[in-house]
Amino acid sequence: MYSTKFSALYRLNQSINHVRRSFFSQTYINGQWVSSQSGETFKVYNPANGNEIGSVPDCNIQDAEQAVQAAHDAFHNKWSMKTGKERSIVMKKFYDLIVKNKDQLGKILTTEMGKPLREAVGEILYGASYIEWFAEEAKRIHGDVLPSILPNRRSFVIRQPIGVCGFITPWNFPSSMILRKAGAALAAGCTVVVKPAEDTPYSCLAVCDLAKEAGFPDGTFNVITSTRSAEVGKFLCEHPLISKMSFTGSTEVGKKIMAMCASTVKKISLELGGNAPFIVFNSADVKQAVQGAMASKFRASGQTCVCANRILVQEGIYDQFMSEFIKKTKEQVVGDGLNESINLGPVINQDQYERIIDFISDAKERGAKIETGGKEKKGKTSGFFIEPAIVTDVNLSMRVAKEEIFGPVAAIIKFKTEDEAVNIANSVDVGLAAYVFSQDISQIWRVAERLQTGMVGLNEGIISSVEAPFGGIKQSGFGREGSKYGMDDYVNMKYVCLGGLKGLDRDSQ
C-alpha cells in the first residue's frame, strides 16, 4: 500500500513539474509570475503548423518600469552584495537545473521557434555552458596593484559590477542568447531585465522558472514580454537606472539602440547582422568543405547570424564541390521539428517566409540558376516551410550576395584567384564571421588575417563555443560574449588612490 501511494505521489509530482516547466501564461518580474498591468496579452504561434501555442502578457512601459525598479533594488541590496563564490554557487545550481530539464526546454524551444528538436536540445546545453563557465569566472574578477611614483601612496584598480543590464534578444536562439548574456552579467554581480522576441517568449520564461528554483534573489532576473518592441526598447535604452544594454539583432535596429543609449551615455554591446563569406580554395578537402557548408548554411534553417551567406568556390574545385553539395542538400528533410526524422524546420513567420521567397525571385530575375529547392509551401496550415535552395551564377548585384539572407538559401559565387575571393568577402559593410577551407597552411593564415571579420573558421563550419569571444567588427557591432573577455562589458574599472600613508615617506624617517 505504501509503495502504491508513493508511486502515485511521485507520478503526480512529475506531472506537476512537467506542467510547471512548460508554457507560462504570465511574465516574471521581481521573483513573481504576473500579468501585464493593462491585462493585455498577445498570442504565440507554432511556425510548423500555424497553431496557437498560447498567450502571454503584452507589457508596456509601466510594466517595464516595475521590472527596472525591481532589478535596481535587487542589485543594490542583494545580488551585488554577494561574494563571487556565493554567486558562483547559485549559478552552478542554475546550470544543473537547465541540464536536468534540457529535453523539456528543447521541446518548448522547438514548438515556438521550429528548429529540429536535437538542435533545440543542443542549444539548451550550449546556453547552459555559459552559465557554467561564468559561474567559475565569478570567482576570478581580478584587480591590480599599480606601482606608485610616491613612497607614501598606493594605487589600485578594482572591477565592480556595472549595475542593471537590459537585454533585447532575438528569436533564432531564444534560449542561448539570453543565457550567454546573463551568464556574464550575473557572474559580475549585475541584475537583468530581458525583453525576449515576441515570436519566442516561452523559452525565456521557462528559464526564469529554473532561475527562481536555483535561488537567485527576487528582482535579479526580470522579463518583459511585449509586442511593443520599439516602445519598450526605447524606454530601456533611455532609462537612467539601466547602466548597460546588450542587443542581438539586425544592424538597422542596432543603430537605433546605439542612438537611444547616447542620451544616458550607457555602456552597450551590439551583436548585429552578418554576411559571412564561406571560401573554398582549390586545395580544400572537398568532403570536409561540403560537410562544413551544410553545417554552417542550413543550421536552424539558415536563420543564424554566423551562417554561410556567400559561398565562394574556386574554379578548379567548383564542379566537384557543387556535385557533392547539391547531393547533400537534396537529402535534407524539411518538416516539423518535433519529428525526429527531419533536418530542417520552418522559418519563423510569414514575414520571414516571404522575404526569403523574394530573395530567390530576385536572383532568378537577375539571371541566377536555382539548382535545387526553393519551392514554396504557402499558408499557415502547412507551416512556413521552404526547401533548402542552392543558387548558382550569382553576381554581386543580387540581394543574395549583398544582403544577409537569414534563410535556407545558399548563394554560390565562382572565383579565380585568392585576391578576388578576399576582395569579394570584404566588399560588404558588415564583418561578423567568415570561413576558409584550404589545406595550404600558408594560405589559411594569409587569408584569415586579411578577412575583415571578428571571427574566422578555418576548415570548420561551426565556430561558436563558450571558450571563444563571440562578436564582430564594422557594422556587425562591438563587444564580445563568452570567453575570458566576456565579463569586461559588465564591470566598471575603478582606480583607487590611497595617499598620506604614514611611516612610508622616507623624509619622515
Supply the residues annotated as catalytic: 271
> For the residues of 200-247, what is the DSSP string, one character each?
--HHHHHHHHHHHHHTPPTTSEEE---S-HHHHHHHHHH-TTEEEEEE
Contact between 91 and 142 (Cβ < 8 Å): no
Q: For 483, which DSSP code? A: T
CA dist., res. 236 & res. 68, Å (int): 8
Q: Output the 3-class SS for 15-60.
A: HHHHHHCCCCCCEEECCEEECCCCCCEEEEECCCCCCEEEEEECCC
Could you tell me the sign of the dihedral formed by the alpha carbons of 49, 55, 60, 65, in that order?
A: negative
Here the cell at position 7 is 508511486
Could you tell me the sign of the dihedral formed by the alpha carbons of 208, 209, 214, 218, in that order?
A: positive
Burial readout 2-17 (b: 16 or more C-beta within 10 A, e: otherwise) = eeeeeeeeeeeeeeee
CA dist., res. 509 & res. 506, Å (int): 5
Contact between 257 and 270 (Cβ < 8 Å): yes
Could you tell me the sign of the dihedral formed by the alpha carbons of 301, 305, 309, 314, in that order?
A: negative
Judged on CB neighbours under 10 Å (0-12, 13-18, 19+), 78 is middle
Contact between 131 and 95 (Cβ < 8 Å): yes
Looking up cell 583607487 gives: 496
Contact between 191 and 71 (Cβ < 8 Å): yes
Torsion angle (degrees, nearest 10) of CA 398, 403, 406, 411: 40
Looking up cell 566537384 gives: 320
CA dist., res. 331 & res. 343, Å (int): 9
CA dist., res. 376 & res. 31, Å (int): 44
Strand pairing report for 52-57 and 41-45: antiparallel
Give the Cα-Cα-Cα angle 168, 171, 177 (nearest 5 degrees).
60
